[in-house]
Amino acid sequence: MTARRILVVEDEAAIRQMIAFNLNRAGFDVAEAEDCASARNMIADTRPDLVLIDWMLPDSSGLELTRLLRRDDANRHLPIIMLTARAEEVDKISGLDSGADDYITKPFSPRELLARIGALLRRSVPAEDEPIVAGDLTINPVSHRVTIGDTEISLGPTEYRLLKFLMTNPDRVYSRSQLLDFVWGQNVFVEERTVDVHVRRLRKALEPFGADKFVQTVRGAGYRFSAC
């Protein structure tokens, strides 16, 4: 199993490095960001499994960053722990609409932080690991197997990620550029035509089972997965 990736968003270098050091030692793959703007880019580029966000950041607040991430389909369920310095911040975070999954107040021990991270990752794993089912089409995210009934369908890695994204977000239309962002990652510079190429391959793989009809073209808008 590959190491879980954690992004640390904290402008105070000493704290950020202390956290990164401890997470590295605990076997995590760690990325660091100093402000909201670079954090958003890194989340899009590196797709972390969990993000630690400091409350006070130079360009915006951690709370605002959390809200922005939650509005984004790709990050709606991204596990987020907020780092706070004061009790009044805790009140706001524990309020209804913060969007953070947990918070931890400074100063905290590495041990406490690792315990919170472990607990949140355990909580968030099941949803990610559960099979995604649409009609008789099933994706098993643990084994990366795609099956129709008892038959396994062989897909390339990009077709697999594309199908998984579409099946996770059914009955919604995504433009080519949105699909590039969600499936290929932002700041990956490939032409929008690439999406069509992979949709074609995906449909071809599904066609013998009559499941290609689930991947629908919406003229002038993009693509949609619908098993209805």
Site for Ca ion (CB under 5 A): which residue of 26, 44, 56, 148?
A: 56
35 touches Ca ion (CB under 5 A): no
One of 54, 89, 159, 181 touching Ca ion (CB under 5 A) = 54
In whole angstroms, how close is the CB of 60 to Ca ion at the nearest point? 11
The 10 Å Cβ neighbour count of residue 175 is: 15
Output the smallest distance, CB 83 to Ca ion, in A. Answer: 8
Minimum distance, C-beta of residue 190 to Ca ion, in the bound complex (Å)? 36
Q: What's the maximum distance between 2 C-alpha atoms anywhere in the chain?
A: 60
Q: Which stretch binds Ca ion (CB under 5 A): 49-57, 68-76, 184-192, 212-220?
A: 49-57
Amino acid letter, residue 34: E
Q: Which is nearer to Ca ion, 1 or 14 (by Cβ)? A: 14
Q: By CB under 5 A, tell whether 11 contacts Ca ion.
A: yes
* Closest CA relative to residue 65, chosen from 43, 46, 87: 43
Cross-strand bridge partners of residue 27: none
Instruction: Tell me which residue of 75, 72, 53, 51 sits closest to 62, measured CA to CA.
Output: 53
Q: Beginning with the edge strand found earlier in the chain, give each strand of the sheet holding 80-84 in spatial order.
A: 29-33, 5-9, 50-54, 80-84, 102-105
With CB under 5 A as the contact rule, which of the stretches 7-15, 67-75, 135-143, 215-223 interacts with Ca ion? 7-15
* Listed ranges 45-53, 54-62, 168-176, 208-216: which one lies at the site for Ca ion (CB under 5 A): 54-62
Check residue 212 for interaction with Ca ion (CB under 5 A).
no
15 binds Ca ion (CB under 5 A): no
DSSP E strands: which ranges in the chain? 5-9, 29-33, 50-54, 80-84, 102-105, 132-134, 137-140, 145-148, 151-153, 173-174, 215-218, 222-225
CB of 10 to Ca ion, least distance (A): 6
Strands 215-218, 173-174: pairing kind? unpaired
Instruction: Assess 18 for contact with Ca ion (CB under 5 A).
Output: no
Q: How many angstroms separate the CA atoms of 63 and 139, rounded?
A: 34
- For Ca ion, the closer of residues 31 and 155 by Cβ is 31
Segment 57-86, which members bind Ca ion (CB under 5 A)? none
Q: Which residues contact Ca ion by CB under 5 A?
A: 11, 54, 56
